[in-house]
Structure formats: structure tokens, C-alpha cells
Amino acid sequence: MNRSLACLLALLIATWPVTAADAPVRKPNILILLADDLGYADVGFQGCKDIPTPNIDSIAKNGVRFTNGYDSGPYCSPTRAGLMTGRYQQRFGHEFNPGAGPNIGLPVTETTLADRLKQAGYVTGLVGKWHLGSADKFHPQRRGFQEYFGFLGGAHAYLPERKMGGAILRGTTPVEEQEYLTDAFGREAVAFIDRHQKEPFFLYLAFNAVHTPMQAAEKYLKRFDHISDPQRRTYAAMHSAMDDAIGAVLAKLHETGLEENTLIFFFSDNGGPTMKGTTINGARNDPLRGSKRQTLEGGIRVPFVVQWKGKLPAGKIFDEPIIQLDIVPTVLAAAEADAKDAKLDGVNLLPYLEGKQANGPHDTLYWRFGDQMAIRRGGWKLVRYGSNTTLAASEMTPKLYNLAKDIGESNDLSTQEPDRAKELQAAWDKWNAELAKPLWGAGGKKEKE
């Protein structure tokens, strides 16, 4: 080919119009919004009347609401361990909240969602509560997150003048945060999206709202002068701050043109803490029975929604049971990321939500929390529960409930349906035999070998 012809060919290639089909397809952004100790009844899409949650509700309006959305544990850290791995956390001994210690945290043998997405070309960031170990080797930036702003423990003060919960960190550097903490987390999440709007990102925004301590900024308290109960009023104010922060994040996605290319999950890490009918933070779990730290529905069934505009149907209600473990395989499928070695317990929900796959994603779901246990198969649930992880002899006999007819778990059918109870117990026993011994006890202290 002579030089003139080569130059002409290069010019034609350079000026040839690029169509949408020719343009590279950008992988979807991933946004996980996690509330802390949120009551089942305390969002508008679940029927809440006294606390407006317009921004959280918009995710349900524009996406899919799960009426049977579960966590794999009834309190904070175990749920997060399952979320980050897509595996039942009892498989690797992360059954209880960790205390302090050099070897107490999400085992480094486990690969996190952030690890996998980082390898797939995503920029990864965590804003908020970690609660998966405070030693250096468990730090978020050693577990796949390139950027981090938040605190490492299980709780933190919200008001800058209050001191509780250790340092707020940017990466590994302590900072003096002057804003109300929920506002600061919203600010940092918006800034992360702004910085990385040109590349696929994974943002895990893990609020500590509405976990104790009960502290609200005055500007939020003023919204709820009509609520006479001071505890409920503070809870409402803290919840409203979280909804505002979520609204700011959603607005940034819209502003940057990323709204339709972002897969968003919102859920709570467990039910509201309403043990023995006395709420710890003001939460309500109606119509469910039970509380955080229990395997009754009030401890493990949570508000749960997903949105992916243009990909998933808007306003859809999905009644089949799902669990937070499903987020990892769903996200990896959306990101076209490799998960062949993952040994996941979760299921990719996309075919079910898109109507390409009939039936439900799970035949059976399982729980173990010390002596407490539960198994759900179809509408039936066998559960052993109490107020502690170690149960008295009188509490060790499981109860059988038909959740399809008795969502409040008020009518024990174990004597009327003994064969069904035995079948579920046998299935749970088989699953339980696969699990590891807890790496530390319920008090966060490392177990003796």
C-alpha cells in the first residue's frame, strides 16, 4: 500500500461515525445503602405514617420491594460479614459481634465483594460503619476498599461535641469531624460519586443511623414537634437525617447522568431493638414479633428494596423470600465479574426480578445465632429463640409457624404438624453440621481453642 492510500484510509477511520452500538458499554455502578437497627415498620413503603421517608420510598417506587427480605443474622456485624462475602457467616465463624483484638474480625481468608469488584476494574469506596474488625489487617483498605471514611467499631456519637466510638478515619488518618455524623456520611458519599463519575464505582454507604446513642441535630428534631414521645421523636429525627443523606446521593446520581446505570440496594442490618416490648431506640417492627438479637421475624426480616432504572421493573412487589447474601451474586452478575471460586450461598436475583426465571430463588433459608436457630421453607418456619444467645432448657424446644397465615408468629403448630417440624429440624441439622465453630463468643472475646 502506498503512502497516500494509507493516509486516506487512516483519515476515513478517524472520521467514521461511532454509533451507540459501537461505543463501549460501561459497567453499572453499584450502590449499597445500609441502615442500622431500623424498624420493619419505619419506612413509608412499609406503611409508616409519622416519619416521612420520601427518598428511601423513591427507591421502592422506582424499583422492586421485597416483602420477605431477610438478613442472615439478627444483629450488626454478622449481617455485614454475610453481606461482604455472599456466604453464611457461620461458615467461617463470624457468628457474633467482634470485640477488640488482633485476630477478631472478618477472616482474611474470605474474599469480599470489594475485592472482587476492584479486580473487575471498579473503584471501590466505603463510607460509614465498618464493624468487621479494628486491627490493621481487617481495615477496609486491606479488604478491597480503595477509599474509606468512617469508624471501625459498632457505634459512634453523632454530635461532634460528644465523644464515643473512637476516631473518625479518612483512610487510616483520624479527622476531626464537625458536622452531624449522618450529614457527614452523606457529604462524603456525594463527593465520592462526584470524583468517580467517569468510571464504574462501588460505593458502600453504611449508616450507623438509627443505632444508639440517640442523638439528633436540632434542625431534624424541629421537623417532629408533633411527636410527643421524646425517644420516638429523636429516632424520627435521626431517621429523617438518613433519608436526607440518601436523597443527596440519589440527586447526585441524577445530576451526573448515572441514575439509570446504577444498581442500588437499600436494607437494614437487622430489625429494630424491641426486646420484651421495650424499644431501645424508638423503632417499631409491626406486624412482626421479636427484636434485634432474635431469630423471630422481628430480628431478621427487614425493609429491603432494589432499584436499577431501565433494567428492573418499577413498582414491582416481590413476595418470594430473599436474603442479603443474594446481593453479592446479583452484583457480580450485573458487573460481569468472575465468581467461579466464590462458593456463594446467595443467588443472582436478576433473572427472577426480570421475570425470566419462575418460582423463588431459595427453597430454604437458615439461621444460627448461638442456641437460637431458624429455618424457613416455603411459608413454614421452625424457630428456637430467646432473649440471649445461650438459652435456658425451657427455651430449647423449637416452635413451628405458618408465616403465610401468621406473620406475627403467634400460633405454634408444632404439635399439630409434628412431621413437618421433624422435617425442618432434620434439614437445619444437616446445614448446621457444615458450619464452623464461632471464632469468638457473644461478648466479642476470642473462643478458646
Chain mean position to CA 33: 7
Question: Which CATH number is 416's domain given?
Answer: 3.30.1120.10
In a domain, 7, yes or no: no
Give the range of the structural domain holding residue 199, as residue numbers without chain letter. Answer: 29-353
Among 7, 48, 94, 131, the one annotated catalytic:
131
Give the tens place of pLDDT for each residue, 78-93: 999 999 999 999 999 9
In this structure, the answer to whether residues 224 and 341 fall within a common structural domain is: yes
In this structure, the answer to whether residues 82 and 140 fall within a common structural domain is: yes
**DSSP readout, 156-189?**
--SSTTS--SS-EEETTEEE---S-HHHHHHHHH
Per-residue pLDDT, 19: 42
* Rounded Cα distance, 76 and 154, in Å: 8
In this structure, the answer to whether residues 204 and 331 fall within a common structural domain is: yes
In this structure, the answer to whether residues 78 and 118 fall within a common structural domain is: yes
Q: Which of 308, 332, 353 is the last residue of a domain?
A: 353
CA distances from 390 to 88, 396, 436 (A): 20, 10, 17
Among 48, 76, 139, 362, the one annotated catalytic:
76
Contact call for residues 409 and 399 (beta carbons, < 8 A)? yes
Per-residue pLDDT, 99: 87
Strands 123-129, 69-70: pairing kind: unpaired
In a domain, 359, yes or no: no
In this structure, the answer to whether residues 104 and 141 fall within a common structural domain is: yes
In a domain, 15, yes or no: no
In a domain, 348, yes or no: yes
In a domain, 287, yes or no: yes
Contact call for residues 143 and 106 (beta carbons, < 8 A)? yes
Do you know the residue count of the chain? 449
Q: Is 76 a catalytic residue?
A: yes
Counted domains in the chain = 2
In a domain, 316, yes or no: yes
Per-residue pLDDT, 163: 85
In a domain, 2, yes or no: no
Instruction: Using 50 as the pLDDT threshold, list the residues of the chain that sit under it.
Output: 18-23, 447-449
Give the tens place of pLDDT for each residue, 213-257: 999 999 999 999 999 999 999 999 999 999 999 999 999 999 999
In a domain, 6, yes or no: no
* Rounded Cα distance, 404 and 320, in Å: 11
Q: Is 94 a catalytic residue?
A: no
Per-residue pLDDT, 447: 45
In this structure, the answer to whether residues 275 and 327 fall within a common structural domain is: yes
Question: Which CATH number is 279's domain given?
Answer: 3.40.720.10
In this structure, the answer to whether residues 47 and 149 fall within a common structural domain is: yes
* Rounded Cα distance, 279 and 272, in Å: 8
